[in-house]
Amino acid sequence: MTGRAGICLCLAEETLEADLRHVTALRKRIDLVELRVDHLKAQERASAGRLPRLAGVPAILTVRRTRDGGLFNGDERERLALLDRLVDAGFAYVDIEEDLQAPGLEARIAGAGARIIRSLHDFSGVPHDLSSRLAGLARNRNEIPKAAVMPNTCAELARILHLFKAHQGKEKVFLGMGDIGFPTRVLAARLGSAWCYSSPTAECIAPGQIDPIALEEEYRYRSIGPDTGIYGVIGNPIMHSRSPGIHNRGFAALGRDAVYLPFLVPDLEGFWAVADALEIKGLSVTVPHKQAVLAGVRDRDALVEATGACNTITRKRVGAWQGTNTDIQGFLIPLRAAYTGSIPSSLAATVIGAGGAARSIVYALASIGAQVLVLNRTLEHARAIAADFRVEYAGLDAAGLQRARRHADLIVQTTSVGMAPNTSADPAPELRFSGREIVYELIYAPQATVFVKRALQAGCRVIYGRHMLLEQAKRQFFLFTGAEYPSDLSEFLADDPD
């Protein structure tokens, strides 16, 4: 393949007919396919040679062993014989493993006009000797080295990114699997991989794969090149985030050479090396890093200093992060709309939670003169916020909920309890709604949390988290690009129930 990185569709159904249905549905979005013969039923494997002729795009032949993440658990001689029978069927590539010693098969592959993909897989981590193994992976110029490893920390992801640079300009397919490694898939062209592996359905064949439609439409895969500016959101969890859809739509509408990605960050300290390796220009910051991120931010504006929380960082050069907080206006704009433009000065509000998001909300409410009560299960955390903003506090217990009855014009839920994937949880199951409250839920995935459903059943008005998400994102977009977020997109996203 030549040009920018392609999209490879992995075919792993039990029948060839089912695989071909995926090819037909997605042919306009893909550049090649990989037929996972090890996923086919035993009686289907004999017909696997039909695929190259019917696919209409170059095809990779793969029969993966169980120890390498595949489903073929038979005798190795049987596997090699199966490969040998299929190499003449017109496959453009044949994927064989790093340790395979089969000169006869390799000669047959070359004689059939196909290229060998020499692959290395580690589903448990990033091998300490990965650099040396990569250097010797391809045994001749006609082989393409492929490495798929599983970073468990951002520090390990940074190691992978440095290896990309070490092998810059060389034909290869490198990727980090799983959610932490996800950016290496989307950034295949930027990092120098020949293609990105994708799945035809939501069920991934390998950890971290996504479908070609999402690659093209949500992540702008076809427009990414060596000079594409990288932005993103950091958090843990993060793959549920709707922020990529918001920002990437905006970049596309304005014709900007930029992409916005989710970065799962279990180790914030290790992430800074990732940010430097990718030359990231701007980041949204979400749970649980809104306070911890301040240790890496040199310049902080008055909002960050006042709240002690930061949800946006940008930089013009390496090592010079600037921090601000767009959550405050993002929170207040939908609240004003709920009160038809003017928030009552006598507003009595209860804020559930005491993390970075809660700090921004309490500051916002205190700044408009609201009477605020902070409820949190860990009383010390609630006390700390109350001291900083001169508001009331209590535990998230019977006594605290009794006090909340006097602060019930507005109930703001700021914790991550109820967020995907733990959608059955309720941050305050003992809290009873009268139906007169306005309930403001900061979680947006799912839109209707258990907490929100209870509020609706009681007759409360609800402000959904997606409205705050969009408003704070619009300000972030301006900080990232210097341009206002497109108004037509803003209206579309505000009305989108999904």
The average pLDDT across 189-202 equals 92
Backbone angles phi, psi at 190, to 5 degrees: -65, -35
Contact in structure between 41 and 13 (CB atoms under 8 Å)? no
Amino acid 68: pLDDT: 92
Q: What is the pLDDT of residue 314?
A: 97
pLDDT score at 3: 53
Cα dihedral 96→99→100→102 (10° resolution): 130
What integer pLDDT is reported at residue 2 of this predicted model?
42
Mean pLDDT of the chain: 95
Check pLDDT > 90 for residue 201: no
CATH topology of domain 6-226: TIM Barrel (3.20.20)
Render pLDDT for 51-77 as a digit per residue (tens, 0 to 9): 999 999 999 999 999 999 999 999 999
Give the mean model confidence (pLDDT) for residues 107-135.
96
* Domain range 328-463, its CATH number among 3.50.50.60, 3.30.465.10, 3.40.1110.10, 3.40.50.720: 3.40.50.720
Confidence at 493, pLDDT banded by 50, 70, 90: confident
Which tens digit of pLDDT belongs to each residue from 426-473? 999 999 999 999 999 999 999 999 999 999 999 999 999 999 999 999
Percent of the chain with pLDDT strictly greater than 70:
98
| pLDDT mean over 403-419 | 97
Asked whether the predicted pLDDT for residue 235 surpasses 50, the reply is yes
Q: What is the pLDDT of residue 202?
A: 64
The pLDDT of 482-495, averaged and rounded, is: 85
Kindly indicate the confidence band of residue 376, based on its pLDDT and cuts at 50, 70 and 90. Answer: very high
Tell me whether domains 6-226 and 227-325 share a fold.
Answer: no
- Local confidence band at 190 (pLDDT 50, 70, 90 cut-offs): very high
Q: Kindly list the domain boundaries of the chain, sorted by start residue.
A: 6-226, 227-325, 328-463
Least confident piece of the model among 201-210, 247-256, 460-469: 201-210
What's the pLDDT tens digit per position in 322-370?
999 999 999 999 999 999 999 998 999 999 999 999 999 999 999 999 9
In this prediction, residues 387-415 reach a mean pLDDT of 97
What is the number of alpha carbons within 13 Å of residue 401 lying toward its C-beta?
Answer: 12
Of 325, 391, 305, the C-alpha closest to 354 is: 391
Output the pLDDT for position 206: 85
**The predicted structure's pLDDT at residue 497:** 54
Give percent of the chain with pLDDT exceeding 90.
91
pLDDT band at 153 (very low <50, low <70, confident <90, very high): very high
Which of 54-63, 282-291, 311-320 comes out lowest in average pLDDT? 311-320
Contact 449, 418 (CB under 8 A): yes
Distance CA 311, CA 324 (A): 7
- C-beta of residue 209 within 8 angstroms of C-beta of residue 199: yes
Mean pLDDT, range 134-154, rounded to an integer: 95
Look up the pTM and report it. 0.94
Q: Compute the distance between CA of residue 242 and CA of residue 260 in angstroms, rounded to an integer.
A: 11
**What's the rounded mean pLDDT across residues 261-278?**
97
pLDDT for position 168: 87
Residue 212 CA: distances (Å) to CA of 25, 33, 167, 176: 11, 12, 26, 18
Question: Active site includes 165?
Answer: no
Say yes or no to pLDDT of 1 above 60.
no
Protein fold of 227-325: Rossmann fold (3.40.50)
| pLDDT of 205 over the 70 cut | yes
Of the residues 146, 290, 453, 474, only one is catalytic, namely 290
